Structure 1
Amino acid sequence: MPRQAASSRTSNGAAPAAPAAARSAPQKAMDKLGLVRDIDLALHLPLRYEDETRLTRLCDARDGETVQVEGTVRESRIEARGRRQLLIRLGDGSGEVLLRFLNFYGSQQKSWGPGVRLRVRGELRHGFFGREMVHPTVRIVQDDTPLAAALTPVYPTAAGLPQTYLRKAVAAGLARAPLDEVIPAALLPRTWPSLREALDFLHHPSPEVSLAALEDHSHPAWQRLKFEELLAQQVSQLRARAERAHLRAPSLRARPQGLLDRLMAVLPFQLTGAQQRVVAEIATDLSLARPMHRLLQGDVGSGKTVVAALAAAVAMDAGWQCALMAPTEILAEQHFRKLVGWLEPLGVKVAWLTGSLKPKMKREQMAAVASGEAQLVVGTHAVIQDQVEFAKLGLALIDEQHRFGVAQRLQLRRKLESAELEPHLLMMSATPIPRTLAMTYLADLEVSTIDELPPGRTPIVTKVFADSRRDEVIERIRDEVARGRQVYWVCPLIDETEASDQAADEAAGRASDRRPPLDLSNVTQTHQELGETLQGFGVGLLHGRLPAAEKAEVMAQFAANTLSVLVATTVIEVGVDVPNASLMVIEHAERFGLSQLHQLRGRVGRGAVASVCVLLYGSPLSDSGKQRLKAMVETTDGFEIARRDLEIRGPGEFMGARQSGAALLRFADLQEDQALIARARQVAEVMLREHPQAAQRHAARWLGAKSEYLKA
């Protein structure tokens, strides 16, 4: 058997680990798929099914159908014309079919000789020499060999893991898995099967069942499984929220005529109604003696930074420190410059912490943080390094929270905890979360939404061009810069050898799941090309591999309009604010995710001039690529973009690192299962209140250690 006997298994149902050298290729492949515990195998459901429960006579079979036939070998030969092939002619008394094998072993020709009875399954099609099947599944049978009693499962697999091996492993795991009923029967519909019955059925459905009900996941067995999964997630997150309610935090209230009022008085603009609403929500949370755990979401350019500054002012007014962490140095520096401009004239000391600081400067900044002299600390992941100590940290702000890995966010939470008080936490995102996603993945968070853009923002027109029209786009750039405007040109790569470095340096693990192949045009070539074509105009280069000082200098020149064109990678995705920039060109736009395209587009349209975003694409376009570009043309609404992104990518990719690379929702569909989500939420509340031990067992069965990632 693929796994060891039940008596030798560990307490969590996993087989004791064998030495790496002793493990077979199928065992290693199963480990990669996460098939370690018996429950993992039981929940590894088929992608599809093959019907091996019935035979079809050749005279009744139609071309194009996948059928199973049984007959006697009439002829077996190897044909050497062109590609070497094994040809088997099979007859069942009602007709004949030619079986064609392009890859085969010599032993197969001997085993499948004339007179041998074979049961084969494959797609029947009309070939040059009559009806044929190419590479059907083949089984030698006797006259009394029984047919399968249930549909044959076809499982998701990996290289080195044959279906036969996987089927045996899943069957063994399913038989051993602890699938006792944990949810009280009164909380479940009577029409649903038990968990064991549901899984037994889904692994081996009877041939009479509707394949449509299996494929669209509407069968009661599927409903039970999806509900179990959603319930585990809701239980985990409601427990996290309940645990947080018992923690203590400083009660932060702004003083009358204090820092908050003085900052409001010097801001060079009026807050929108939406900004005023979320500031009030955050201020209410900060005033409570339990830690705030809130997500601030808003579209590109909606003014989240000023809301963060006002929240920090409340905390600092109450005598506590604040920390703001951003995923990239460029974004952190944008925040730093804005906050220094607003707060330092009011007497606030702002510290700067990034990995690129020279040792002496870093020691000085850390000393200011440790002594409390620095009331606000802005930086990258350097803020959570072990040697950084805060005198009195009351509020932590995380910008673009989905761009941080789960481990980093958990490390920040642990770092902020103290023996007596835990600081408040405000996370920010310019990627709006659709409501159904918030109900499932963010059930332990309070969510504030800025759903109004500041006045004066000009609409952005989005146009899609094939890469063959690149010269026309460059001419449009010449026109723009001649009028004194500025242009971004975004490329997906640094150079042909540094794709992985770019992903690590620029996106902290989330550049794009659609990693470009290495033969794409790259940023250094494009910079050279535009520099030669647009002589007389400054063309800058910006990417994640540049030294920090050089990046800062390039950005300063572009902000000052001494550079007309900025050729960059996705380091400019968030935080860059140059009102004079009116044209954004995104090269190989089909390689970027929809939310990332929307973020990049948001770098223009920040001034009074009408702005354009040009999406250049290579061919051929995939279906999902077409959907993304179509969505970009049809809407500039970040919430609609988020909804479509969820439809295209699904929740796993949309939430990024929150799931630590493993989808916490494998079976439920957030678009179609909203009723199940609502039911799971209600049942989770009842179980935590009336059956807490059962609730804990249920979450542990489904999530194991992953429940920690839902809290991040």
Structure 2
Amino acid sequence: MAGNGPVRKPASALTGRLHKLGIYNDADMLLHLPMRYEDETRLVNIRDAASGASAQIEAEVEHAEVTFRPRRQLVARLRDESGTLCLRFLNFYPAIQKLLIPGQRVRAFGEVRSGFWGPEMIHPRLQAVSSGDALPQALTPIYPATAGLAQAAMRKLVLRAFGRASLAELLPDALRKSLKLAGWERSLRYLHQPPPDARLPALEDRSHPAWRRIKFDELLAQQIQLRRAYLERRSHTAAAIPALGRLTALLIAALPFALTGAQARAVDEIARDLAQPWPMQRLLQGDVGSGKTIVAALAMLQAAENGLQAALMAPTEILAEQHFRKLAGWLEPLGVTVAWLSGSQKKRERTAMLERIANGEALLVVGTHALIEDSVGLENLGLAVVDEQHRFGVRQRLALREKVSGRLPHMLMMSATPIPRTLAMSYMADLDVSVLDELPPGRTPIVTRLVADARRDEVIARVRDACREGRQAYWVCPLIEESETLQLQTAVETHETLVAELPELQVGLVHGRLKPDEKASVMDAFLRNETQVLVATTVIEVGVDVPNASLMVIEHAERFGLAQLHQLRGRVGRGAAASSCVLLYASPLSQNGRARLKAIYETTDGFEIARADLQLRGPGEFVGARQSGVPLLRYANLDTDVDLIEAAKQAAEELQARYPEAADDLLRRWYGGRSELLKA
């Protein structure tokens, strides 16, 4: 069968189990690599087997029986010339009982531990042997598996795939030698069948040369696919939107602040992209408070100056309304009308907004998912801006893009979660990226404090003091209703407690289950300082800008992700007053919880925090649902394989240009027929 053809189907049940593991053909089978290894190439005498370590014992069954105290179990005693070993099986089948007949010679592999009757193994791997039977000549691979698929079956399938799959070397010799990479077939065979003298630590931490070759090819395939997606998008047509400069110059002159160097650079990069006749696909990323909204406003204004529509879509009503207020405040004095759409609008208001959009009175539109409804006419859309883009699914972004027929709008995606450089080089390689890596002057440093839950009274007193000085405070809770499993303090209960503890203050409550008009009313009261303390769930994570708020309390901080903690902390420090963030945590802390709180305590640099988050949680949280076709990395590590990422990025260009057939084969090897170009 062809090298990338389907795995032969001995049974539909087996095929289904392989599909669960992402195995559809022989190439997939060979790329399903071991997660660890066991050494069955040597035997250990019972007397020499170290407690707590795995060992292989060959001995004779002396006795076996099923006992019922303290529970039903199969117990056997093995003997060799050095001593005896007890085997215990708490769950067992008749086949195991048949192996354990007195006088039968067996090999048992498992962890040796100290038991009541001496050394013992619980649920060892067991096989019948004859004296002098040969030992394996390679370490035994242990594969990621699924229910109903035994390791022995996996090993047989791998051997069969080696006999049928294409093992051709796809890298040019000069490239492979310049990067000091091992051969493809040799690397694969080594990882599936390591010799007895293989360096186990290097295999298991994936630093071995064989692993480096696999990881390089994986990164190279990802780079080629993303590069092709980038070029494919450039083959489409978009409206060229030149920078006319009149209204944008007026807006910059009217601002009460000067653009930072990073903002000015991003504005120029976006303006140049918009002037091209192919669709821009740019990610604007920056730390909390780095000023992404004004950059987006200038891009939208460039579209409006050319008579084209621009739409900004945000994931929550609070964030969308915040954007609308800012844009309207900046642009309406210039004679530019901004429309606002949300799912909670009254019918009369919504109809009026739709009419403004339809008749061209409002070229700029801000809204939530309501923007992508069929009733919203955006046939003249030149620029689509998606804020917090990782919170939207692919279909939602495609729906906004498909409002236009015959051409594609330019796309600007914004993220307040800084993206580590290695992640941008790999998963975001199909995008152009603008980075806001400096904060506007005047931002107050935020002091972060870790406080145990037992000192809650002190935190409440601190909230009281801050509000007496004329400041305001947030108190964030992770859940709305009581959860017996998590046992977290809820927003509703916290609100009631703070109302009772702080009778002299107005305490508001906002969460995702409030009706939109109720939510808006609570936020307005907080913005006007009619409410001094706002108890909230994470609906206030992004976009909320209340300069007078100088204290943030985060309840059960150990339960939040690092990026979320950083976003919440960024809601304060927006005015001139000294600001602080109190992280209330419950003991005992898990290892991960302790690592997250340590990282957030030690730095306010969003890029440093993003790097720590990447180490703790991997790339999934950053990538989210950004693309349908982004190939996830299975083996390469964005933290330890930086040199391979950089080399793969360069090699992708060479392979595409000089060896396109090899590039095609590489994609087929890694993605089979499932690879698709990125669309969103």
For residue 263 of structure 2, what is the aligned residue in structure 1? 275
Q: Give the Å deviation of 1:577.
A: 0.6
Indicate yes or no: 2:372 matched with 1:404. no
Instruction: Provide TM-score, normalisation by structure 1.
Output: 0.89
Q: 2:477 aligns with which of 478, 491, 497?
A: 491
- Structure 2 CA distance for aligned equivalents of residues 63 and 312 of structure 1: 68
* More moved, 353-362 vs 669-678: 353-362
Indicate yes or no: 2:401 matched with 1:433. no
Indicate yes or no: 2:666 matched with 1:698. yes
Q: 1:619 aligns with which of 587, 595, 605?
A: 587
Alpha-carbon contact 2:222-2:631 (below 8 Å) kept: no
Note closer, same or farther for the CA distance 1:590–1:40 as it changes in structure 2 (3 Å cut): farther
For residue 582 of structure 1, what is the aligned residue in structure 2? 550
1:498-552 Cα offsets, whole Å, 9 max, x none, are xxxxxxxxxxxxxxxxxx9543222222222222222232222211122111111
- Structure 1 CA distance for aligned equivalents of residues 97 and 629 of structure 2: 45
Note closer, same or farther for the CA distance 1:107–1:671 as it changes in structure 2 (3 Å cut): closer
For residue 70 of structure 1, what is the aligned residue in structure 2? 58
Q: 1:218 aligns with which of 193, 207, 213?
A: 207
Q: 1:527 aligns with which of 495, 510, 521?
A: 495
Alpha-carbon contact 2:472-2:548 (below 8 Å) kept: yes
Note closer, same or farther for the CA distance 1:324–1:607 as it changes in structure 2 (3 Å cut): same
* More moved, 76-85 vs 210-219: 76-85
Q: 1:93 aligns with which of 81, 91, 98?
A: 81
Q: Give the Å deviation of 1:236.
A: 1.4
Indicate yes or no: 2:591 matched with 1:603. no
What SS class does the counterpart of residue 388 from structure 1 fall into? coil
Q: 1:234 aligns with which of 200, 223, 236?
A: 223
* TM alignment of 1:298-377, pairs within 5 A: 298-377=286-365
For residue 511 of structure 1, what is the aligned residue in structure 2? none
Alpha-carbon contact 2:628-2:678 (below 8 Å) kept: no
Alpha-carbon contact 1:331-1:576 (below 8 Å) kept: yes
Indicate yes or no: 2:114 matched with 1:126. yes
What SS class does the counterpart of residue 592 from structure 2 fall into? helix
**Gaps (5+ residues) in structure 1?**
1-5, 498-515
Note closer, same or farther for the CA distance 1:575–1:17 as it changes in structure 2 (3 Å cut): farther
For residue 504 of structure 1, what is the aligned residue in structure 2? none
Q: Give the Å deviation of 1:360.
A: 4.9
What SS class does the counterpart of residue 91 from structure 1 fall into? strand
Q: 1:382 aligns with which of 363, 370, 380?
A: 370
For residue 616 of structure 2, what is the aligned residue in structure 1? 648
Q: Give the Å deviation of 1:287.
A: 2.5
* More moved, 668-677 vs 109-118: 109-118
Q: Give the Å deviation of 1:473.
A: 1.8
1:355-398 Cα offsets, whole Å, 9 max, x none, are 33345544443343333322111112222234433142111111
1:407-465 Cα offsets, whole Å, 9 max, x none, are 4334444x15542x432221111111222221112222222111221222111111112
Alpha-carbon contact 1:645-1:654 (below 8 Å) kept: no
- Structure 1 CA distance for aligned equivalents of residues 176 and 338 of structure 2: 55
* More moved, 456-465 vs 648-657: 648-657
Alpha-carbon contact 2:176-2:182 (below 8 Å) kept: no
For residue 184 of structure 2, what is the aligned residue in structure 1? 195
1:680 aligned partner, one-letter code:
A
What SS class does the counterpart of residue 73 from structure 1 fall into? strand
1:381 aligned partner, one-letter code:
H
For residue 559 of structure 1, what is the aligned residue in structure 2? 527
Indicate yes or no: 2:298 matched with 1:288. no
Note closer, same or farther for the CA distance 1:694–1:389 as it changes in structure 2 (3 Å cut): farther
- Structure 2 CA distance for aligned equivalents of residues 119 and 303 of structure 1: 67
2:476 aligned partner, one-letter code:
V
Number of residues of Structure 1 aligned to a counterpart in Structure 2: 679
1:31-67 Cα offsets, whole Å, 9 max, x none, are 3332333333221111101111211112332222211
Note closer, same or farther for the CA distance 1:174–1:352 as it changes in structure 2 (3 Å cut): farther
1:3-37 Cα offsets, whole Å, 9 max, x none, are xxx59x9x96367899xxxx64x655543332333
For residue 628 of structure 1, what is the aligned residue in structure 2? 596
What SS class does the counterpart of residue 658 from structure 1 fall into? coil
Indicate yes or no: 2:103 matched with 1:115. yes
For residue 6 of structure 2, what is the aligned residue in structure 1? 13
Q: Give the Å deviation of 1:269.
A: 2.1
* More moved, 307-316 vs 138-147: 138-147
Instruction: Provide TM-score, normalisation by structure 2.
Output: 0.93
1:195 aligned partner, one-letter code:
W
- Structure 1 CA distance for aligned equivalents of residues 675 and 571 of structure 2: 36
Indicate yes or no: 2:405 matched with 1:423. no
Note closer, same or farther for the CA distance 1:656–1:706 as it changes in structure 2 (3 Å cut): farther
Note closer, same or farther for the CA distance 1:344–1:40 as it changes in structure 2 (3 Å cut): same
What SS class does the counterpart of residue 618 from structure 2 fall into? helix
1:533 aligned partner, one-letter code:
E
- Structure 1 CA distance for aligned equivalents of residues 258 and 652 of structure 2: 43
For residue 21 of structure 2, what is the aligned residue in structure 1? 33
- Structure 1 CA distance for aligned equivalents of residues 20 and 317 of structure 2: 34
For residue 681 of structure 1, what is the aligned residue in structure 2? 649
Indicate yes or no: 2:168 matched with 1:180. yes
Alpha-carbon contact 1:248-1:291 (below 8 Å) kept: yes
2:107 aligned partner, one-letter code:
R
Note closer, same or farther for the CA distance 1:355–1:692 as it changes in structure 2 (3 Å cut): farther
Alpha-carbon contact 2:40-2:56 (below 8 Å) kept: yes
For residue 238 of structure 2, what is the aligned residue in structure 1? 249
1:531 aligned partner, one-letter code:
V
For residue 459 of structure 1, what is the aligned residue in structure 2? 445
Alpha-carbon contact 1:372-1:390 (below 8 Å) kept: no
1:95-150 Cα offsets, whole Å, 9 max, x none, are 11122333334664454132222211112223332222222222222335432232
Note closer, same or farther for the CA distance 1:253–1:108 as it changes in structure 2 (3 Å cut): closer
Alpha-carbon contact 2:379-2:404 (below 8 Å) kept: no
- Structure 1 CA distance for aligned equivalents of residues 218 and 94 of structure 2: 48
